[in-house]
Structure 1
Amino acid sequence: MTLFASRPQAAIADAFSIQYRVKLTDPHAHVFEVTLTIERPDPAGQTLALPKWIPGSYLIRDFAKHLNRLSARTHDARPLAITPLDAAHWQIEPTEGPVEVRYQVYAWDLSVRGAHFDATHAFFNGTSVFLAVEGQRDQPVEVILEPGQQAFQSDWQVATTLPALATNAQGFGRFQARNYWDLIEYPVEIGTFQCLEFEACGIAHQAVFTGKIEWDRVDTEQLKADLTRICETELTLFGTPWPIERYLFQVMVTASDYGGLEHLDSTALMISRDDLPYLGRKTVYPDAYLNFLELCSHEYFHTWNVKRIQPQVYQRPSLTEPVYTRQLWWFEGITSFYDLNILWRAGILSAEQYLTRLSKEMTKVYRLPGRFQQSVAESSVLTWTKFYQQDENAPNAIVNYYTKGALIALGLDLTLRRDTQGKLSLDDVLLALWRDYGRTGAGLGEGEIEQVCERVSGLDLSDFFARYLDGTEDLPFEALFASVGIEFRLRAPSHLKDMGGHLGDEDDLEAPFEAPLVLGANFVQTEHHTLKVRHIWQEQAAVNAGLAPNDELIALNGFKIESLSRLETYLSRHQPGDTLSCHYFRRDELHTTDLTLMPPPQDRVSLRYHDSNDQPSEEWTPWPMRSRN
C-alpha cells in the first residue's frame, strides 16, 4: 500500500521560519505533544492564536479548551512568560531570536471536526493542533510528524494529503504547507487501516477506512467502482483543468455515526459500519449504502463549491470570531441538490429511484412548520446559533439551509429550464461561478450569486429570490414539475415512519388510502418502555393537549403505550375528533390530559410520472441533463 504521505514534493521554501513538531505521546491519556519553533518572533511580544471554529462547521467550539501545559523559551532554554489575552490568544514576552513553544493537545473528540487519539488510531485537524503565529500567517511552514513509542504503534501509517518533504515507509517525517490557511486544510489520519486505491479521470484517489470492520465481508470492488463513478461524474461536470492532483477519503467507521467535513483535496467522514456494502446483500444499493455514497458525493462536490467557489468572508478568516453570510443556501443547499443528482448521473440510481429519494428529501422540508417562520437566507446568517445549536422547538422555529436550500436549487433548475425552453439549467450557473470565481480565487459578495443567476440566464429572477430565498413561501413545485412531465403532490402518511415517496396504486387521488392518525410529535423509545417526546409540532394534537418535549407518554385511555408500533396500532382504532385520556410523566410527576385526535397532515411528497402505466425506458431521464468537458 502506497500512501500519499510517502510521495515527497518539491520544497515550497528554502528554509522555514515556522516549524510544528507533532509527537504521538500517550494514546492512553489521549495526548499529542506539539513543539512550535518561531525563528523570527515579533520583538514587541509574539501573539499566538488557536481557532475557535473550523471551516465548514459554523459553531464556536473553543478548541483551546483542549490545550494544556503551554510554555515558551528562548533557543538557549531561557523560560519566557506567556500570558493569556482571552480564550484563544496568548502573548509571549518580548525577546530577541528564535522562540520555542511547547504544549499538549488533549485529543478525545471522535468527530470529523476535532482531534482523537487512542490505542486504535490518531486523527487531527490543524485547527485543533496548530497555534497560529499572528503577523506571520502568510509564511510557509514545516510540519514534522513523529510516531509514538508504544509497541502497537510500530505498524501505524500516515494518511494525509499534507505535502511531504521527506518521509519514511510508514509516512512519518517532514511535511510543508504554503501558509497557515493552507496548513489547516490537511487533516491527518494515523493508524492501521484498510485502503482502496482508484483513478478518476486519471487522478489518483484513495479511501482509507479506520475502525473495527469485517473487511473481508465488504464488497470492495463495488465500493471502488461506485466511488470512481461519482468522482468522474463530478470531475467531468466541472471540466479541466482539474483543481486537484490527488484526493483522499478518510473514513472513520463506528457503530452509528454519520457526517463529513470537506477540505481542499480530501474529506474526513464518519459512517456506521452498516453503511458499507457487504457481500451477499439482497440489493446492490441498500438505503444505508446509498446514504454513504451520497455523503461522499456531497463532500467531493465541495472540492469546487465551498473550497474554491466561496464567499469573500470565508477567505482567510481569523477563525477566532464568527463570520456571517446569507449565502449558505448556495454552498450547502446547492451541494445537497447535486449530491443526490450526481448518483443518478453516475448511473448508480435509476430515474425512478432518483425520484423516490428526491421525494423523501423534499418531505424533510415539508414536514417542518419552521419553514414558514424563517427564510433560508436568515437561516444562513444565524447558523452560528439557531441552526448549529438547535433546541426542542427547532422544527417550529427554523428552516434547514441544507434541505430547503436543495429545494431552492431544484426549483431554480426547473425554472431556468422552463423559462429558457431547455437551453439553460443550473449547471450553466454553476460553471459560470467556477470559471469566474473558483478558478480565479475571487470571493463572492452578498447578493452576487443571485446576480450571476440573472446574468447567465438572461431572466429577471428577483421575484423568485424574494419569495423563496428571502421569503418563506413554498416553491411552486406542482407547476415546475409538470413542465418536465412529473406529477408532484403532497399526501398524508401511510404509516408513522413514512418519509415520503410514491406509494403505488393506493396513492391515486381517486383511490385514497386510510392514513394513520398522528399526534404531531417525534418520540424516542426509553429504557422504561415508554415513549419520550423529542419534538412537538405546533397546532397539532400533542401540543394542543399540553404535551411538551421530554414528557414520557405512558397510556392512552388507560392502555399502556410502550412503543411506536403499539401507538400506531392503538390509534388505528380511532377517528379524527375522538378525545382520549392521556397519562404522561413530566420529570417525576404524573399528569393527565385530554388529547383530541386530528386528521393527518398532507406533508409527504410524492413524485411520479404523469401516466402511471408508462414505465421509463433506459434512456428516460427525469429532465434533460448535460455534462460538460
Structure 2
Amino acid sequence: MVSKSPRYSICPADPAGHNFVVSILIPDPAPEQMFWLPAWIPGSYMVRDFARHIIGLQATDNTGAHIELEQLDKQTWRAHHTNTSVLKLTYQVYAWDLSVRTAFLDQSRAFFNGSSVFLAVKGREQDPCLVHIAPPAEPVDGVWRVATALPALTVDPYGFGEYQAESYDALIDHPVEISDHQPGTFHVNNVPHQIVLSGRHNADTDRLQNDLQKICQQHINFWQIPAPMDQYVFMTAVVGSGAGGLEHRASTALMASRNDLPYRGMKDTTSGYRNYLSLCSHEYFHTWNVKRLKPRRFIPYQLDKESYTELLWWFEGITSYYDDLGVVRAGCMSAEHYLEALAQTFTRVHRGVGRTKQSMAESSFNAWTKFYQQDENAANAIVSYYSKGALFALYLDLSIRQRTQGRQSLDDLVRAVWQTHSTDGVPERGIPVVAAQVIACDLSDVFALGLYDTEDLPLAPLLAEFGVQMIWGTPRNLQQPGGQSTQLKSDALCLGVRFEQHPLGAKVAVVHTDSPAHKAGISAGDIIIAIDQLQTDAARIDAQLARYQAGDKINIHLFRRDELREHHATLAVGAQTTCVLSLHDRYKVSLWLEIDA
C-alpha cells in the first residue's frame, strides 16, 4: 500500500435506523475530482441504482472547510476545490435490504457489498484501497465479529480494523458480514475455508463443514488447477424462509432457511439441505466460471450501465448443471435424489410456454429487462437461462459422451474453455469454436438447437441410453413451480393457472397461454372465490375439479380488484409438463455421473 491510496472507513453507526456511516480520504485529489457508485453488482444483472440509498453526502478539505459538490447524474458527483492536499467525503447509507445483493443493518447483524456503500474515486479505480471497518457505535445483539475475504492488515480479535484491496474492483468484490457468529474452518488443498452462519439456528455445523469440504475438494479437482484464492468464506444469513446466493472472487453471500440446514441426529439428507448444498456448490463453482473466466464483454465491468452478453447460458446454465452434479460426485447426494432434482428442473422449464418463444441466447441477452424484471406473464414470454441452461448442459454432456463413445464429456469442454479464455474473456460465439477444436465429434447441431432455437431438447432417448427413463404427466394444479412424483397424473384436469393463498379464495398468480383460464378471460391478480356456486380456495380447488370431466363447463365467480365478476371456463386435461426420472440401469448412470455404481 502507498500513502496516496484512497482510505475508506465504514461504521454500523445506527443499527436501529439501518444507517452505515462511510468516509473516504483521497490524498492529492484532482482539481475537479469526480466520484461514482455502481448501478449494478456483478452476478445480478439488473440496474438497482444503489446511489438512491446515499444520504447527506458532504465534502471537506484538509482544514475541515466545506467543499462544493455538484451532482452530475443519479450516481456521479464532482467536487470543486482550488487547492487541498486531502479531500474527505462523508455520507450515510441506508441499509434495509435483506438480500445478498446490497446492504443490511439492524441490531442483529450488519452486512454489505462494497458496490452499494463505497463510492469510487474517478481516475483512481486501479489504485490500492485501504478500508477501516469499525465496530458498532450503539449496543447490538451479542458479540459481533467480522467475516470477510478482504486481506487484513491490522485487526483486533473480533476482526475490526484495517483491511486492504488491490483496486476498487477488488474492494467491491469482498462482501462483509458482521454479527454474533462462531465461524467454522476447514482446509482444501491448504486453502482455509470459513463457514459463517448469521442468525438463529441449531445446525449441525460439523456435518455441514464435512459436506462442504467434500464439495469444495470435488470442484478443485474438477478444474485441475491450483485453487485461485488464498482463502474462501461461505457466509449465510439464516432466515425463516428464503434462499439465494451471489458469487464473489473469494467468498459467497448466501441466504437459507434455518429448516434447510442439517440438524444433529439427521440420518439422511432432507430436500432442503440438498438444495442448500447445491446452492453452495453453485456459488463455489462460480469462483472459476464467471469470477475469473468471464464473457469478454465484461472485461472490464461497465458498472454504470447494462453490459449485454449472450453467454449467461454458459456462466449460469453450465454452473447450474455442475452444482447438483458436484454434490452427487462428492458423495453428498444419492443418484436417486440427483434424478429427482433434475426432474424438477425439467418440470420448471416445461411448465412455461415461454420456452417456445425465447431462445437461450435471447434469454441471456435480455436478462436485464426480462429475466430480472419478471411479471405475471413471464412464464408465457421467457425461459430461464439457469434452468434451461442446465438442461442444455445435460444435453451437451450426454451428446459428447454418446458421440465419442465415452472418451470425452462436457468436463473436457469446460476445462478447455478455461485454458483458452481465462485471461482474455470468452467471445460471444466462442464456446462452439473451442468445442470444434477439442471435442472429437461435430456438435454444431447441438449448439444450434440449444442456443438459437426454441424447440424442446430431445433428452429422453439420450437419458435412456444412460440408464434413465423419463415419464411425463399432468400436474393437478400449478401452485408450485417444481414437480414431485406424487403429483404425477395422466389425465388430471387443469385450469392452467398458478395459485397463491389469499384470505378470500384462490389468488391467480400466473395464467398460462391457451389454457382454459386464459380462454375464459381469467387474469393474474383475480381472486377466485367460487366454482359452480361453491366456495373455493387454493387448498381445495383440486378436489373440486376432480369431480368434473374434460369438456365440462364451469361457472367461476371471482373478484378483480373490488369488482365481482362471473366467468365461464371449459375444462381440459392439462399439458403433460410434470417430469419424473427413474433409474433403470445403475451402472450406466454411474458412468455418466462418474460415481461408484
The alignment's TM-score, normalised by the length of structure 1, stands at 0.91
Contact 2:399 2:462 in 1 (8 A): yes
Question: Which residue of structure 2 aligns with residue 70 of structure 1?
Answer: 57
1:516 partnered with 2:500: no
Contact 2:220 2:226 in 1 (8 A): no
Contact 1:579 1:594 in 2 (8 A): yes
2:571 pairs with one of 565, 590, 597: 597
Question: Which residue of structure 2 aligns with residue 560 of structure 1?
Answer: 535
d(CA) in 1 for partners of 2:320, 2:212: 17
Tell me the CA shift for residue 244 of structure 1: 1.6
d(CA) in 1 for partners of 2:100, 2:458: 37
Question: Which residue of structure 2 aligns with residue 546 of structure 1?
Answer: 521
1:105 pairs with one of 93, 108, 116: 93
After TM superposition, the structure 1 = structure 2 runs for residues 71-90 of structure 1, keeping only pairs within 5 Å, are 71-90=58-77
Question: Which residue of structure 2 aligns with residue 57 of structure 1?
Answer: 44
After TM superposition, the structure 1 = structure 2 runs for residues 213-232 of structure 1, keeping only pairs within 5 Å, are 213=201, 215=202, 218-232=203-217
Question: Which residue of structure 1 aligns with residue 464 of structure 2?
Answer: 482
* Structure 1 pair 593–624 and aligned structure 2 pair: CA distance change class (3 A): closer
d(CA) in 2 for partners of 1:496, 1:280: 35
One-letter identity of the residue aligned with 2:179 = G
1:324 partnered with 2:324: no
Contact 2:60 2:66 in 1 (8 A): yes
One-letter identity of the residue aligned with 1:527 = P
After TM superposition, the structure 1 = structure 2 runs for residues 9-24 of structure 1, keeping only pairs within 5 Å, are 13-24=1-12
d(CA) in 2 for partners of 1:424, 1:309: 22
Tell me the CA shift for residue 269 of structure 1: 0.4
* Structure 1 pair 220–154 and aligned structure 2 pair: CA distance change class (3 A): closer
Question: Which residue of structure 2 aligns with residue 234 of structure 1?
Answer: 219
**SS of residue matched to 1:271:** strand
1:399 partnered with 2:383: yes
d(CA) in 1 for partners of 2:593, 2:269: 23
Question: Which residue of structure 2 aligns with residue 5 of structure 1?
Answer: none
1:313 partnered with 2:301: no
**SS of residue matched to 1:150:** coil
1:473 partnered with 2:455: yes
Question: Which residue of structure 2 aligns with residue 42 of structure 1?
Answer: 30
Contact 1:193 1:210 in 2 (8 A): yes
One-letter identity of the residue aligned with 1:585 = F
2:177 pairs with one of 189, 192, 213: 189
Extract unaligned runs of 5+ from structure 1: 1-12, 508-512
d(CA) in 2 for partners of 1:571, 1:154: 53
d(CA) in 1 for partners of 2:355, 2:35: 42
Contact 1:219 1:278 in 2 (8 A): yes
d(CA) in 2 for partners of 1:138, 1:46: 15
1:414 partnered with 2:413: no
1:127 partnered with 2:112: no
After TM superposition, the structure 1 = structure 2 runs for residues 31-430 of structure 1, keeping only pairs within 5 Å, are 31-43=19-31, 45-96=32-83, 97-152=85-140, 155-213=143-201, 215=202, 218-281=203-266, 284-430=268-414
One-letter identity of the residue aligned with 1:537 = H
* Structure 1 pair 18–475 and aligned structure 2 pair: CA distance change class (3 A): same
One-letter identity of the residue aligned with 2:8 = Y
d(CA) in 2 for partners of 1:46, 1:406: 46
One-letter identity of the residue aligned with 1:339 = D
Does 286-295 or 449-458 show the bigger shift?
449-458
Contact 2:466 2:589 in 1 (8 A): no
d(CA) in 2 for partners of 1:516, 1:490: 12
d(CA) in 1 for partners of 2:490, 2:371: 36
d(CA) in 1 for partners of 2:82, 2:391: 57
One-letter identity of the residue aligned with 1:624 = W
d(CA) in 2 for partners of 1:61, 1:590: 38
Number of aligned pairs? 593
d(CA) in 2 for partners of 1:519, 1:154: 51
Tell me the CA shift for residue 494 of structure 1: 6.0
**SS of residue matched to 1:290:** helix
1:445 partnered with 2:427: yes
**SS of residue matched to 2:452:** coil
Tell me the CA shift for residue 163 of structure 1: 0.5
Tell me the CA shift for residue 322 of structure 1: 0.5
Contact 2:110 2:177 in 1 (8 A): yes
Contact 1:48 1:90 in 2 (8 A): yes
Tell me the CA shift for residue 38 of structure 1: 0.9
d(CA) in 1 for partners of 2:529, 2:592: 52
Question: Which residue of structure 2 aligns with residue 536 of structure 1?
Answer: 511
One-letter identity of the residue aligned with 2:579 = V
**SS of residue matched to 1:68:** strand
d(CA) in 2 for partners of 1:497, 1:33: 44
Does 236-245 or 293-302 show the bigger shift?
236-245
d(CA) in 2 for partners of 1:532, 1:267: 36
One-letter identity of the residue aligned with 1:256 = S
Q: 1:95-139: per-residue Cα shift (whole Å, max 9, x none)?
A: 332211111111111110111111111111000111001111011
1:527 partnered with 2:515: no
Q: 1:213-249: per-residue Cα shift (whole Å, max 9, x none)?
A: 2x3xx22222121111111111111123211221101
Q: 1:10-63: per-residue Cα shift (whole Å, max 9, x none)?
A: xxx2434211011221111111111111112112x0110001100000111111
Tell me the CA shift for residue 280 of structure 1: 4.3
One-letter identity of the residue aligned with 2:573 = P
Tell me the CA shift for residue 256 of structure 1: 1.0
d(CA) in 2 for partners of 1:623, 1:397: 37
**SS of residue matched to 1:488:** strand
Q: 1:546-567: per-residue Cα shift (whole Å, max 9, x none)?
A: 1000001111111111233x11
Question: Which residue of structure 1 aligns with residue 556 of structure 2?
Answer: 582
Q: 1:420-460: per-residue Cα shift (whole Å, max 9, x none)?
A: 1111110001111222333xx22111101221122221433
**SS of residue matched to 1:194:** coil
Extract unaligned runs of 5+ from structure 2: none
d(CA) in 2 for partners of 1:343, 1:151: 41
d(CA) in 2 for partners of 1:310, 1:174: 30
Contact 2:247 2:286 in 1 (8 A): yes
d(CA) in 1 for partners of 2:139, 2:478: 52
d(CA) in 1 for partners of 2:51, 2:483: 43
Tell me the CA shift for residue 622 of structure 1: 4.4
Superposed CA RMSD in Å reads 1.9
**SS of residue matched to 2:589:** coil
One-letter identity of the residue aligned with 2:470 = F
d(CA) in 2 for partners of 1:18, 1:152: 30
